[in-house]
């Protein structure tokens, strides 16, 4: 049966489908209770009241306004050189009276409209809820960085605008609705004997414009054994798979990683459809509004495989933490000096329950021998930044993706931490920015020479020549390839 699909993702019927998904999730999944760290009745410092029944949107404060009902959050790309309307110390009081919709970027207007349609009274938008200018803007940013994990953990829903590279582009898109119609073909399956004979009696809907009709004459040309294997099959395009969103702008942003991981529900706006995800690993789209066919529910869903409501023990906690680091470091930051540690802080705060102990510039002290086993991606042109943001032994000191070689087995620990000192920008936030840090280890060392192999200026190999091992050459994966392009005597620490 042909479905009535609007030609625009901003159509009210599309929002109605999202509302049905939301209501079904609340009734059947209880995703709001999925994370044990959620706090009932908690609100961010500021929220945008979306307005209802003719009321204009306005800014509300949790300490001064009487707040009731859930709130949503917005994930979006800021784009290069953002100049859109933002909150600052000068317009704060005016925005508490009214938020001028005509001055907002399209993505923010679309998010407010979506919340109105879903009957969610508030939405948290970073540029409208955190001071972006003024004498107190820096302290306000540090305050929000400290409680960012609560902002997303306690939201009712996260609205993710995957398709837009900046807020001016908005969430909604024109589209060809025929692309989203069901498409089936009758086809023989050779070598299978478990298809029911009744499949022969099923005829496709002749009224559907997008269904390939079965040719009865073709069936007569098949042998009796082949005829029994004809079955009705659905046809999918690449866009029907959730991993297709990995090519959209939002998926490349590092900040969004923790926003997606912590939110109990996500409503995504793609290039030609909306998607629904929740903490019960459900993925729905307009193409498949009731269920997802096998193989199409992967992609972003891998983030939910290690949920924070599961009490973990042993090496599984390390594997999950290292997986988070590898996914996070392959994404982009506009301001890595300020954000490298902060954009991962919300995840680190919750991981602290797994490991305990101090958090030291991106690595927990109790797992320090393992945490030092990271290395940058092989054969990449890596230059250590001039501006300091983390010590050289931390993954946060570089801008490229890092890998950690760790196996699910009990290692033999050879190095031990003697002392760690970390000086923080905000002394109340151990997960935030770092001014300086120092690490003292005790363990075996090997004196060696770094030998750089022949290659281009960007791609080359480094080996360790170790005299104590009968001049055996050992492959080395340096943090910074450019710093090892000449022979250097180095001391190599054996960690495990």
For residue range 233-254, what is the model confidence (pLDDT) as tens digits? Answer: 666 665 555 555 667 888 889 9
Mean pLDDT calculated for residue range 275-295: 64
Residues, the chain: 496
Q: Are 131 and 140 in contact (CB under 8 A)?
A: yes
Q: Verify that 223 and 322 share a domain, yes or no.
A: no
Q: Give the percent of the chain with pLDDT over 90.
A: 34
DSSP state of 408: S
Q: Verify that 86 and 219 share a domain, yes or no.
A: no
Q: Is residue 170 part of a domain?
A: yes
Q: Is residue 213 part of a domain?
A: yes
Residue 207's domain comprises 184-234
Q: Is residue 1 part of a domain?
A: no
Q: Verify that 73 and 155 share a domain, yes or no.
A: yes
Q: Verify that 162 and 244 share a domain, yes or no.
A: yes
Look at residue 384 in the predicted model and tell me its pLDDT: 76
The Cα 129–Cα 59 span in angstroms is: 8
For residue range 352-382, what is the model confidence (pLDDT) as tens digits? Answer: 877 877 899 999 998 888 888 888 865 555 6
Indicate the average pLDDT of the chain.
Answer: 76
For residue range 377-404, what is the model confidence (pLDDT) as tens digits? Answer: 655 556 678 889 999 899 999 888 888 8
What is the number of structural domains in the chain? 3
Between the two ends of the chain, the Cα-to-Cα distance in Å is: 62
CB atoms within 10 A of CB 99: 24
Q: Is residue 401 part of a domain?
A: yes
The Cα 463–Cα 447 span in angstroms is: 13
Q: Verify that 202 and 286 share a domain, yes or no.
A: no
Look at residue 201 in the predicted model and tell me its pLDDT: 41
Q: Is residue 198 part of a domain?
A: yes
Q: Verify that 169 and 122 share a domain, yes or no.
A: yes
Q: How many CA atoms lie within 13 A of 281 on its CB side?
A: 11
Helices 12-28 + 106-118 axis angle, to 10 = 50
Per the DSSP assignment, residues forming a β-bridge with 8 are: 174
Which of 56-65, 189-198, 294-303, 462-471 ranks highest by mean pLDDT? 56-65
The Cα 339–Cα 51 span in angstroms is: 33
Q: Verify that 150 and 83 share a domain, yes or no.
A: yes
Q: Are 149 and 262 in contact (CB under 8 A)?
A: yes
- The 10 Å CB-count burial string (b at 16+, else e) for 214-247 is beeeeeeeeeeeeebbbbeeeeeeebbbbbbbee
SS3 476: strand
Predicted model pTM: 0.78
């Amino acid at each position: 049966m042909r479905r009535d699909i609007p030609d625009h993702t901003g159509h009210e019927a599309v929002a109605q489908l999202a509302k049905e998904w939301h209501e079904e999730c609340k009734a059947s999944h209880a995703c709001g209770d999925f994370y044990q760290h959620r706090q009932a009745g908690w609100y961010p410092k500021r929220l945008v009241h979306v307005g209802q029944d003719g009321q204009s949107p306005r800014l509300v404060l949790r300490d001064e306004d009487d707040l009731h009902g859930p709130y949503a959050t917005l994930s979006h790309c800021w784009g290069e050189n953002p100049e859109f309307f933002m909150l600052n110390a000068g317009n704060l009081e005016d925005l508490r009276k009214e938020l001028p919709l005509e001055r907002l970027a399209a993505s923010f207007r679309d998010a407010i409209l979506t919340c109105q349609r879903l009957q969610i009274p508030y939405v948290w938008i970073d540029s409208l809820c955190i001071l972006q200018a003024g004498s107190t803007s820096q302290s306000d940013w540090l305050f929000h960085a400290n409680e960012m994990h609560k902002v997303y953990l306690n939201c009712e829903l996260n609205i993710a605008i995957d398709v837009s590279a900046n807020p001016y582009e908005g969430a909604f898109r024109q589209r060809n609705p025929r692309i989203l119609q069901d498409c089936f073909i009758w086809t023989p399956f050779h070598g299978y004997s478990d298809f029911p004979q009744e499949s022969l009696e099923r005829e496709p809907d002749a009224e559907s414009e997008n269904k390939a009709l079965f040719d009865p004459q073709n069936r007569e040309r098949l042998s009796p054994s082949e005829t029994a294997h004809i079955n009705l099959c659905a046809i999918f395009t690449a866009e029907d798979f959730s991993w297709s969103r990995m090519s959209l702008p939002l998926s490349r942003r590092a900040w969004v990683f923790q926003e997606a991981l912590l939110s109990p529900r996500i409503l995504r706006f793609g290039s030609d459809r909306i998607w629904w995800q929740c903490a019960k690993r459900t993925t729905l789209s307009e193409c498949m509004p009731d269920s997802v066919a096998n193989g199409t529910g992967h992609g972003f869903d891998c983030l939910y495989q290690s949920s924070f409501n599961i009490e973990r023990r042993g090496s599984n906690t390390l594997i999950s933490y290292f997986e988070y680091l590898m996914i996070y470091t392959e994404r982009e930051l506009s301001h890595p000096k300020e954000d490298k540690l902060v954009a991962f802080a919300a995840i680190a705060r919750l991981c602290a329950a797994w490991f305990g102990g101090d958090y030291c510039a991106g690595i927990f002290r109790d797992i320090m021998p393992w945490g030092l086993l990271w290395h940058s991606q092989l054969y990449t042109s890596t230059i250590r930044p001039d501006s300091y943001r983390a010590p050289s032994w931390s993954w946060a000191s570089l801008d490229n993706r890092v890998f950690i070689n760790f196996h699910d087995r009990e290692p033999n620990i050879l190095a031990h931490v003697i002392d760690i000192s970390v000086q923080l920008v905000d002394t109340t936030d151990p997960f935030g920015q770092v001014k300086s840090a120092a690490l003292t280890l005790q363990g075996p060392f090997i004196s060696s020479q770094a030998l750089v192999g022949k290659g281009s200026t960007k791609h080359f190999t480094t080996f360790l020549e170790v005299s104590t091992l009968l001049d055996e050459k050992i492959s080395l994966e340096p943090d910074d390839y450019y710093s090892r392009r000449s022979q250097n005597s180095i001391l190599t620490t054996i960690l495990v």
